[in-house]
Amino acid sequence: MTKDFRIKGGVVNRDKKLNFRFEGKAYEGYEGDTLASALLANGERVLARSFKYHRPRGVFSAGSEEPNALVTLREGAYQEPNVRATVTELYEGLVAKGQNYRGCLKHDLMAINDLMSPFLSAGFYYKTFMWPAVFWEKLYEPIIRKAAGLGELSMLEDPDAYDKGFLHCDLLMIGSGPSGLMAALAAGRAGLHVILTDEDFRMGGRLNAETQEVDGKAGHVWAEEVLSELEGMKNVRLLSRTTVYGAFDHGIFGALERVSDHKKEGSGDVRQILWRIYSKRSILAAGAIERSIAFGNNDRPGIMMAGAARAYANRYGVALGQNISVFTNNDDGWQTTRDLHAKGVNVAAIIDSRSSTSQTAPSGVETIMNTAVMDTKGRHGLNSITLTNGRTIKTDGLAVSGGWSPAVHLTCHQRGRPAWNEDLAAFLPGGDLPVGMSVVGSANGTMTLSACLNEGLNIANKVIEELGAKPSDLSVPKAEDETFATSAFWHVKESKKRAWVDLQNDVTAKDVKLSHQEGFRAVEHLKRYTTLGMATDQGKTSNMLGLAIMAEASGKTIPEVGTTMFRPPYSPVSLSALAGRSRGKEFRPTRLTPSHQWAEEQGAVFVEAGAWLRAQWYPKDGETHWRESVNREAKAVRESVGLCDVSTLGKIDVQGSDTAEFLNRIYANGFVKLPVGKTRYGIMLREDGMVMDDGTTARLAENHFLMTTTTANAVGVFRHMEFCKQCLWPDLDVQLISATEQYAQFAVAGPNSRKVLEKIVDKECDISNDAFPFMACGDITVCGGIKARLFRISFSGELAYEIAVPARYGDSLVRVLMDAGKEFNITPYGTEALNVLRIEKGHATGNELNGQSTALNLGMDRMVSRKKDFIGNVLYQRENLVREDALKLVGFKSVSPNQELLAGSHFIGVDKNNVQENDQGWMTSVCYSPNLESFIGLGYIKSGDSRMGERVRAVDLLSKTETLVEIVSPHFVDPEGSRLRD
C-alpha cells in the first residue's frame, strides 16, 4: 500500500483533482502538481532506472535540471521519451511510464550491470571494444546500441504541429523570480516593450518555493500581484512555459514555448512554438541551481536536493519523507530543516560538514556538526544513512545541499567564460556577455531576497535610461536578507562506496579520479572520457563536483581546472520544434509549372528539378515501361510535333543603355552586334575560366534583352550578374529583374511546329520562314490579341519555337496548342524525351556543365572571344586548361546497339588495364535513341575530337560492367543543322 505524503499548504489547487497513470497504475494529483510532485505525494519513490548501472532512481530536483526522474510520456504516436517528471505539468488523463529497464521498473533485469560495475568504469567501451575489428559491425555495435540510450521513440510520425514565431522587444526578461519580476515591473511601468519569459508554468521562481515575505505578504502572493499588473500592460508580454534556450548574435534569442504540453494529446492546439526573439536589451534572471555532494550511495530514491525538498513542501505540499534528515555544507540546508519541521515533518537530524554556523535548528532536531554522510542504505528507497563518525541514522529522506551555482549558461553562449568566486564557491558570469545582456539576482551571485529585488530594480532602471526612457518611481518592497554562508565541500573522502557525481550518466568520483590517473586531465577531456555532464541534463547539478574532484586530484584550484563551454540549448529542444512546419512535403516550397494541372490530367509522371516539379513523361494506356513512353515522345518530335513546358528555365530581363556592353562582359561570346529581333546562344564563364551556365538571349529592342539560364542556375546567374553590375561596373546603365515566374513558356518542336503555331498566332503576325527565320524573336499576339513572345530556337534540333505568354495564360495556352495540334498528333513530352533529343544533338546540360568543364572541353573554344574583356577570359587561357590533350566532348555509340551504356563509366583503351593511369575520361550522359535504334552517350575523352571512329571500353567498376564503344560526332542527328532552318 502506498503512503500519502501530501502535507498542508502549497499553491496547488486542492479543489481540482486530476487522475493520471504511471506504470499502468492509477493515481490522483492536484491541478498545479508536476508529475514528480504527484508521484511523490503518492509515495512513489522509484521513477526511473539509471543509464549505465540500472540503479533505481527517484526525484532529485524540482526543476529542469533533473538528472534522474526521466519518464516516457503519452502513448502511441504521441509517445515522448526522456521527459523530466519534475517539469511535466499534471493534466487529467496523463499517462506515463518508466524507461530503461527490462522486466519491471522495480525489478529491472538489467540491474545486473550494477554488480558488474567494477568492469564498467570510465573508458570501458574504449578499452573493451577494440579488437578484433571485424567484431565491430556484427557484434559490438548491436550490443552497445541495444544497451545505450534511455527511453525509446515511438518510431511513428509525430502527429503534433509545431510553429515558429518571431518577436521583437526592447527588453527580454529571462526568469520571473524576485529579481526578474522586479526588473520587469520597472521596465513595464517605464513603458518599455517587455517580454517576460519563464520555463515554469507558474511564474514567480523561488518565490513559489520559499516562505519568505515580500512587502508584508507571502512571496508567491506578491508575485501574483506583480504578474497581474504586468498582464494588464499592453507593452508587456508574459511567456510562461517558455525556455530561452540560446543567446545568439546581436540580441537574438531562441525560446521554446510549450503551448500544449500540459494538455491531453489531440487538444487541437499547436504543441510548441519556437520563438526567435529580437531584443535591444536582455536581463538574465535565471536564478541558481543547487548542486550535490559526492558521498557513498548518494543516488538512492529519497535523496534529493535540499532546495527541491523545500520546493515540494512549500509549493506542492508534499513531504520528501516522514522522517527526513538534512546534509549540508552551507546555510541553505538549515532553511530546509526549518521549513519542513514547520510543516510537521519529522527531521531526524541536520548534518553540517562545517565546524560551526550561525544557524540554529528547530527544537527537537538533532544538530551534528563537522560531520558528513558517508553511506546510505535502502534498495528501493532510502532507509538509513551512515555518518563519518560511524553513526547510523534511520531516515526515509535525505535533503542534500552542496551550495548553489548561478545559472550562467546563457552568458556563455557567445564568448563569455565564467569567473570563479571564492566566497560563493561558484562560477559567476564573466568575460564578454552576449550583446545587450545584464545579469541580476542569484544568476549574478546575488543570493539573498532583498538584494535580488534591489538589483532587479537598479539594473532595470539603468537599461531604461540607456534606451532613452524614464524610470518610474517604483521602489523596492520590504523583504529580508537571509544568510547564505557556504563552504567549498564537495566530496566525502571517507566514503568507501561509489559516490555519484553525474547521476544521469552514472559517473562516480572514482571515474573522475581514474580519468586524471589515465591522463585525461583537461576539463574537456575529463568530460568526454567519463561522459560527465554529457547527458540530457548537461550536468547542471553535477559539473561543479566533477571539476572540484579533478582539481583535488591534480592539486590545482577549481578556476585553474576551468569549466567546460556552455552551448545552446540550455535544456533539450525536440527536433520537431526545430523543424516546425518544414517537414515532409512542406520541407520547402514546391514550384509548379503553369501547365502542371493540365499535365496531371494527362497522367504525367513528375520529377523534382530543384524546387520545381516537371513532367518527366506522359504514359499512355498500354505502355508498361517508362522507356516506351519516352521513345514514343522523342520520335513524335522528330516525325511530327511535340510540346514541352520549359517555363522553369531562368529568365532575366535586362534593360538600360549599356545592356549590350554588359552582356558582352557576362558572356564569353560577343553580344554587342546581336541585331534587334534576334536570339543568340551564349556561354558564360566563372572567373576561374570554367563554364558557369549557358542559354539563349534575345534582343527584344535596342536596350532590352531577355536572357535565359538553365533551370538549376537561374538563381546563381542572377546573383552573379547583380554582383558584376553593382561591384565591378557600378556606372554601367543596366537594370536586371528575374522574369522566370512571370512567363509561361512552351517549346513547340518538330517539322509540323509552324503549322500548329500558325493556327493560333494572330493573322497580322507573319511567322513564315522568311519573315521569322531560325533564331528570330519578337512580340506577337495569339488567340485574338493575347500578348506573347515567340523565339525560334531549338534544343531538339528540329524546326522549333518557344512561345511565352504571361504566366496566367499558361494553362489556357497548353490546351489551345494541344487542340490546334490534334490534326498533327501533337505529343506532349517530358524531361526524359527532352534529354534524349538533346543527347541526339550533342547539346550540353548539367551533366556536362559540371563546374569543371571549359568551353574548350565542350568544343566551343571558337566561340570564346579573344578581343574583349569578359568574366573568366584571363584564367580561361591558363596553360593547363588549353593543353593539347584536353578532354573533349564527343559522342559514343555502343558497338552492339543493344548494349546499354552507363553514365559515369570511364574510358579505357581496349588493351589497357583498368587503372587510374589509363583513365581517359568519362561518360556524362546516356540514353536509348529511338531514332538511331541504339544506345548512345556523350562524354569527355582526351583529344576526343581527333579520335573519331576509335574504339574504347566504357568501364564501370561499381557495377562491374564494361561496354565496347565507338567515338563518334556528338551530333548524332542532322549534323548539318538543316532541319532547324527549314
Partner 1 sequence: MIINHPLLGPRDAQEFTYLGDASMIHRPHWQAEDAIDQFHDYTYLRDNPAGSHRELWFHEQGDRSWLVVTRNTLTHEIEKVELASDVAKAEGRSR
Residues forming contacts to partner 1 in the complex (CB under 8 A) are 248-252, 278, 414-415, 432, 435, 658, 687-688, 715, 719, 722-723, 726-732, 869, 873-875, 877-878
CB of 120 or CB of 579, closer to partner 1? 579
CB of 128 or CB of 735, closer to partner 1? 735
CB of 783 to partner 1, least distance (A): 35
H/E stretch holding 184 reads helix 178-189
DSSP three-state, residue 615: strand
CB of 639 to partner 1, least distance (A): 44
CB of 870 or CB of 935, closer to partner 1? 870
Q: Which of 60, 63, 58, 55 is nearest to 45 (CA)?
A: 58
C-alpha cell at 952: 574504347
Residue-wise burial string across 441-462, b where 16 or more C-beta atoms lie within 10 A, e elsewhere? bbbbbbbbbbbbbbbbbbbbbe
CB of 882 to partner 1, least distance (A): 12
CB of 415 to partner 1, least distance (A): 7
* Sequence letter at residue 221: V
Place of cell 511567456: 239
Rounded to the nearest angstrom, the gap between the alpha carbon of residue 527 and the centroid of all alpha carbons in its chain is 24
CB of 276 to partner 1, least distance (A): 8
Alpha-carbon distance of 720 to 450, in angstroms, equals: 61
CB of 725 to partner 1, least distance (A): 8
CB of 732 to partner 1, least distance (A): 6
CB of 577 or CB of 747, closer to partner 1? 577
Left (φ > 0), alpha (ψ -120 to 50) or beta: where does 175 sit?
left
CB of 161 or CB of 435, closer to partner 1? 435
What residues pair up with 761 in beta bridges, in sequence order?
A: 782
Are 68 and 92 in contact by the 8 Å Cβ rule? The answer is no
Within 13 A of 877's CA, how many CA atoms are on the CB side?
9
CB of 236 to partner 1, least distance (A): 23
Alpha-carbon distance of 980 to 775, in angstroms, equals: 9
CB of 960 to partner 1, least distance (A): 39
CB of 610 to partner 1, least distance (A): 15
Q: Which of 525, 526, 465 is nearest to 501 (CA)?
A: 526
Q: How far is CA 285 from CA 244, 245, 446, 539, in A?
A: 11, 14, 10, 20
CB of 567 or CB of 878, closer to partner 1? 878
CB of 288 to partner 1, least distance (A): 28
CB of 726 or CB of 959, closer to partner 1? 726
**Strand stretches in 785-933, DSSP E:** 786-791, 800-806, 827-828, 887-894, 906-909, 919-929
Residue-wise burial string across 805-828, b where 16 or more C-beta atoms lie within 10 A, e elsewhere? bebebbbbbbebbbebbeebebbb
Within 13 A of 106's CA, how many CA atoms are on the CB side?
7
Angle at 667 between CA 843 and CA 697, to 5 degrees: 65
CB of 393 or CB of 732, closer to partner 1? 732
CB of 263 or CB of 280, closer to partner 1? 280
CB of 841 to partner 1, least distance (A): 33
CB of 709 to partner 1, least distance (A): 16
Task: Determine how many CB atoms are found less than 10 A away from the CB of residue 237.
Answer: 15
Kindly give the interhelix angle for 626-639 and 831-841, rounded to the nearest 10 degrees: 60
Alpha-carbon distance of 234 to 216, in angstroms, equals: 28
CB of 435 or CB of 818, closer to partner 1? 435
CB of 608 or CB of 687, closer to partner 1? 687
DSSP states of 262-289: TS-TT-SS-SEEEEEEEEEEEEE---EE
CB of 234 or CB of 867, closer to partner 1? 867
For β-strands 94-97 and 213-214, DSSP reports them as unpaired
Are 598 and 810 in contact by the 8 Å Cβ rule? The answer is no
CB of 180 or CB of 436, closer to partner 1? 436
